[in-house]
Amino acid sequence: MKRIKQCVVFLLVLILCGGLWVRSNRLYFSPEAAFHGAERGLRYGPSEEILLTYPRGDGSQIYVGKWNNGLSVIPVEQYLGLFWRMSTDVDVEGYHSMYGDVDARLTKESVLVGLSLLPEVTEVTCLFYSMEDEVEDLKPVEEITLPVAENGFFHEKMDFPQEKADMFYVGYVEGRTSAGEVVYRKGLGKDGKEYDVEGHQPQISSVGGWAYEDVKERKARP
């Protein structure tokens, strides 16, 4: 009887120590839990909705969630074959608010992710520009038109060279209704005009950074 009690106590201590080890190393039993745990560790979230998942080249997964009218992008990886955690030794893009009622940007894996807060917008067109071009001679290097889901999300994998992915950015976003009416424009259009609209002011996270730079910011640089 005494030996049984000792075994029970030993198992309880083992479970307690294992739980403390899992907690201290921020390990989880599912990638979704690791994603939400990473958000809490970055002091925001958890996301109201997971919008997209896609694999990275190193075997980890990228999770894209919606929180506070913005997007959360976090890599998670499997650990010891049983647990999941936020990926180590990689840049974490984290949370970024929107620059307007319709906004889009590229992740580090050249995936376009965007969000519309206007329910009437059913289709968007995005123009991409390159930071290698001179500001005075900016011309779109790529154009894409995408449908907008009911939750306002849109996305597409772009074929920009991975080694130069951070040199491209979304410089223009246009939102249209199902009837084809343009109800939103922001950025430098193909006509050379720069459109600006009032929208949500960005609350930029200090964790990671988007491969994005507004044309106005580039013009203002010395």
Per-residue pLDDT reduced to its tens digit, 54-63:
998 777 899 9
pLDDT band at 101 (very low <50, low <70, confident <90, very high): very high
pLDDT at 53 over 60: yes
Structural domain count, the chain? 2
**Are residue 60 and residue 104 in the same domain, yes or no?**
no
**Are residue 91 and residue 153 in the same domain, yes or no?**
no
Three-state DSSP at 39 gives helix
At 30-39, the pLDDT tens digits run 999 999 999 9
Three-state DSSP at 5 gives helix
**Residue 147 pLDDT:** 98
**Are residue 113 and residue 72 in the same domain, yes or no?**
no
**Residue 136 pLDDT:** 57
Mean pLDDT of the chain: 79
Domain that residue 200 falls in = 99-222
Using CA atoms, how far residue 48 sits from 44, 65, 112, in Å, is 11, 7, 20
Which residues are within 8 A (CB) of 192 and not within 5 positions of it... i.e. 6 or more apart?
A: none
Angstrom distance (rounded) from CA 76 to CA 38: 9
Residue 5's CB is within 10 A of a number of other CB atoms, namely 9
| Percent of the chain predicted with pLDDT > 90 | 44
Boundary-marking domain end, from 82, 97, 112:
97
pLDDT band at 219 (very low <50, low <70, confident <90, very high): very low
